[in-house]
Amino acid sequence: MIAELVTFTHPAGSTRAEIIEGALSVVPQWQANTDLVRKHFLVSDNNRDGAGFYLWPTREAAQKAHNAEWIAAKEKATGAPVKITYYDLLLVVDNATGTVSQP
């Protein structure tokens, strides 16, 4: 399994409410992606730095979702570069279920 961290900068002056509204507007898109295992929407305390943390079955699935067209649209919307980093997911400690798994 692959963990993907996508980081970007929100436009100056973005409010938390606007960021949540924007996140909610793309939820159906991510729900429709059958390759996506899980997505977390993240924002910094000052509402300036944003991130998406994704779990995917493969790096290819992640790259298919975040292709050049998606990156260009995100950069146009935010006016700043997008950075994508991939990680191999080694272990998951899930305190809610009391489990440790090795995907």
Number of structural domains found in the chain? 1
In tens, the pLDDT along 17-54 reads 999 999 999 999 999 999 999 999 999 999 999 999 99
Residues spanned by the domain of 59: 2-101
- Per-residue pLDDT of 44-102, as tens digits, reads 999 999 999 999 999 999 999 999 999 999 999 888 999 999 999 999 999 999 999 99
Predicted TM-score of the model (pTM) = 0.91
Q: Please, which residues bridge with residue 83 across strands?
A: 7
pLDDT of residue 9: 95
In single-letter form, the type of residue at position 103 comes to: P
Which pLDDT belongs to residue 69? 96
CATH of the domain at 93: 3.30.70.100
Q: How far apart are CA 86 and CA 26, in angstroms?
A: 22
